[in-house]
Every structure is written in C-alpha cells, then in structure tokens.
C-alpha cells in the first residue's frame, strides 16, 4: 500500500491537474479488493453521491479499514483516506487532520461540492468508529 509520504511526493511531481487526476485514479485502482459480502447497506457511507462502502474494525488496538467506491475519482480519494487511517490507534485517528492533508495536496479546491461532502462523510465514519472503539475500551 502507498504511504501518505509517497502520495504527497508523487502529487508534487505533477505540474497540472490532468496528471494529478490520473494519479488519483491510479491510486484508486490500487485499493485492496473489497469483499463482495461487505457491500451491504450497513457499510454504505451516507452523504456520498457515489456508492462508497467502508468497513472499520479494531484489531489489536488498531483500526483496520476496507473501503471501495463505484467511482474512479472517489476510489482514489478512498485510497488516500485508507493510507491515512489504516493501522492507526483510535486516538491517533481522532487526532489526524486529514482535511489539512487534502488541502496540502490541493484536492479540496479541485473537488466538486458533492465529492467534498463524500470525502468528509468517509472521514466522519472512520472518526465514529474510533470514538466507539475508545468508548468500548473505557467500559
């Protein structure tokens, strides 16, 4: 899986948005396969124009994510979200400023409002999972 540092370095290599969008689509194509059995209503991320499925589990104190979308650009955004959150502790996930990352990459300014809302919905779903994991640990 591509790391956040690699993603930021690669985005910096492109002088134009055509190249950056091509790279974003390439990132989406590199997402790990999403289990067909997880393509359920319960795993749909609400607030996305595209179909986005997100599974968040806790494994040995770390968030483990599976994510997919039916749209190429959104799959690329999901790949960046996965690189940012997968393997983090719930507390680390809550402390991440992922929107700042997307701002640094210049993506927020180049996303349609509906894609931006979908991105925020993915991030919020992961943050909900992290909050629930912390609450369960404190019981």
* pLDDT at residue 82 in the model: 96
* pLDDT at residue 79 in the model: 97
Say whether 48 is catalytic: yes
Average pLDDT, integer, range 3-31: 93
Closest C-alpha among 79, 66, 64 to residue 39? 66
* pLDDT at residue 23 in the model: 96
Among residues 48, 74, 82, 107, the one annotated as catalytic is 48
How far, in Å, CA of 99 to CA of 120, rounded?
A: 8
Q: Which residues contact 106 (CB under 8 A, 6 or more apart)?
A: 11, 20
This prediction's pTM? 0.94
pLDDT digit string (tens) for 28-83? 999 999 999 999 999 999 987 899 999 999 999 999 999 999 999 999 999 999 99
Choose the CATH number for 4-137 among 3.90.1010.10, 3.40.50.2300, 3.30.565.10, 3.10.580.10.
Answer: 3.90.1010.10
């Amino acid at each position: 899986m591509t790391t956040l540092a690699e993603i930021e370095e690669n985005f910096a290599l492109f002088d134009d948005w055509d190249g950056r969008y091509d790279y974003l689509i390439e990132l989406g194509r590199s997402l790990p396969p999403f289990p067909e059995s997880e393509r359920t209503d319960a795993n749909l991320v609400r607030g996305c124009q595209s179909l986005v499925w997100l599974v968040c589990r806790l494994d040995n104190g770390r968030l483990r994510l599976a994510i997919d979308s039916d749209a190429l650009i959104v799959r690329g955004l999901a790949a960046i979200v996965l690189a940012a959150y997968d393997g983090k502790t719930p507390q680390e996930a809550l402390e991440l400023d992922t929107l700042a990352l997307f701002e640094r990459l210049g993506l927020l300014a180049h996303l349609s409002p509906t894609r931006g809302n979908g991105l925020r919905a993915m991030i919020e779903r992961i943050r909900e999972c992290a909050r629930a994991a912390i609450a369960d640990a404190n019981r």
